[in-house]
Amino acid sequence: MKIAQVTPYFHPHVGGVESYVLSLSKALVKKGHDVAVYTTLLPNTEENEKIEGINVKRTKTLFTLLKTPVTPSMKISDCDVLHAHSPPPFHSYFAARICKKNKTPFVLTYHCDPELPSFFGRIITGTYMRTFGWYTLKNADRIIVSTKTYAATSRAMWNYEPAVIPSAVDVKEFNPGVDGSDVRKKYNLDGNIVLFVGRLTWHKGLEYLIRSAKNVDAKYLIVGPGEMRHKLMDDVKRLGLSDKVIFSGKIPGNDLPKYYAASDVFVLPSVARLEAFGLVIAEAMASGKPVVVSDIPGVREVITDGVEGLLVPPMDEKALSEKISILLSNPEMRKRMGESGRKKVEEKFSWDRVIEKIEEVYEQVVRS
């Protein structure tokens, strides 16, 4: 099958959707499909290249609005099915228009609701959802969401019946047998290690995680790039936590399993609906690590509280400190939760299981 994946940003750009589309495309190529990814031309990337068997076609951006590339000149070759990913939103809108014009089967993965943290941000996102967003959803032959709870609490999904297909991880790449000693040596880490992986942006709730370090006997390793890095580093200095909180910056993707292996507990303290699943949670679980995650729609569905990890109220640094400390003080609990997490990922979140469900969606829209 010839499959077009449409996404605003793609590898080597860092983000959850980018990682998902790369892994999805690799899994589809492995299954024998012809996959092309249509995305934005960014600095230090090429208009046409091949990445691990994936044809990547990049288009120059007309302009960028609120960190969202607008690329109306995007052209997509003939394909059997087009699969777009949103947000950021406008690429999926242009994909919907192309599919309607060419009568191409159109699948949309609705990763999360668009959200901007201000009064005017709510006006902007609301206007988008009533116009471009409405058009995109209305013209999708099938919509995919990652969790039932997120779909149930998303106003945008109430008029649709989306397919619920979780995000997935490579269980061979992320596994409990990876050696993390090089990472501990690199950053001179000893004792307990608390890990965060992701973009350093407002909706991740990192200020609460950093403040929790005051009351936790551990070092915190913050992995990833992002626009909030300098502010967060200033917060660390102001709080007197420079000896406890370490920022790694962006790391090579193939080194990431070692960072999970080096940690004792993984934490995702997200505070907004821009976090609908949390792929890094599944990566940590696949690596055999217990997790502490915010009790918000979507994310809370990835784990069972007390089984693979612990849920914590969002924006609550005290609760974060308490839950992290509970795990760090109980090695047997960490071991049990890590084993349960690994088992759950193998059963529900491995690409071998998830890719078949996505192929079924493609076959359904092509037949209909």
Q: Is residue 273 part of a domain?
A: yes
Residues 191, 312 within the same domain? yes
Residues 342, 359 within the same domain? no
Work out the end-to-end distance of the chain between its first and last CA atoms, rounded to an integer number of angstroms.
Answer: 15
Q: Going residue by residue through the chain, which has 368 residues, state the pLDDT in tens, using 9 for 90 and above.
A: 999 999 999 988 888 889 899 999 999 999 999 999 999 998 889 999 999 999 999 999 887 776 778 888 888 988 999 999 988 788 999 999 999 999 999 999 999 877 666 667 677 777 877 888 899 999 999 999 998 888 888 888 988 999 999 999 999 999 999 999 999 999 999 999 999 999 999 889 999 999 999 999 999 999 999 999 999 999 999 999 999 999 999 998 889 999 999 999 999 999 987 787 889 999 999 999 999 999 998 889 999 999 999 999 999 999 999 999 999 999 999 999 999 999 999 999 999 999 999 999 999 999 98
Task: Check which CATH number belongs to the domain holding 21 and give it.
Answer: 3.40.50.2000
Residues 195, 327 within the same domain? yes
Q: Is residue 358 part of a domain?
A: yes
DSSP, collapsed to helix, strand or coil, labels residue 15 as coil
Domains in the chain, number: 2
- HEC profile for 152-188? HHCHHHCCCCCEECCCCECCCCCCCCCCCHHHHHHCC
Residues 159, 246 within the same domain? no
Residue 45 burial (10 A CB sphere; 0-12, 13-18, 19+) = middle
Q: Is residue 173 part of a domain?
A: no
Beta bridge partners of 142: 107
Residues 277, 144 within the same domain? no
Q: Is residue 212 part of a domain?
A: yes
Could you give the CA distance from residue 339 to residue 317 in angstroms, rounded to a whole number? Answer: 27
Residues 109, 248 within the same domain? no
pTM for the structure as a whole: 0.86
DSSP one-letter code for 18: H
Residues 152, 216 within the same domain? no
Residues 22, 121 within the same domain? yes
Instruction: Find the domain containing 14 and state its range.
Output: 2-168+350-367
Residues 231, 255 within the same domain? yes
Q: Is residue 43 part of a domain?
A: yes
pLDDT value, residue 57: 96
Query: From the centroid of its chain, how far is CA 223?
Result: 14
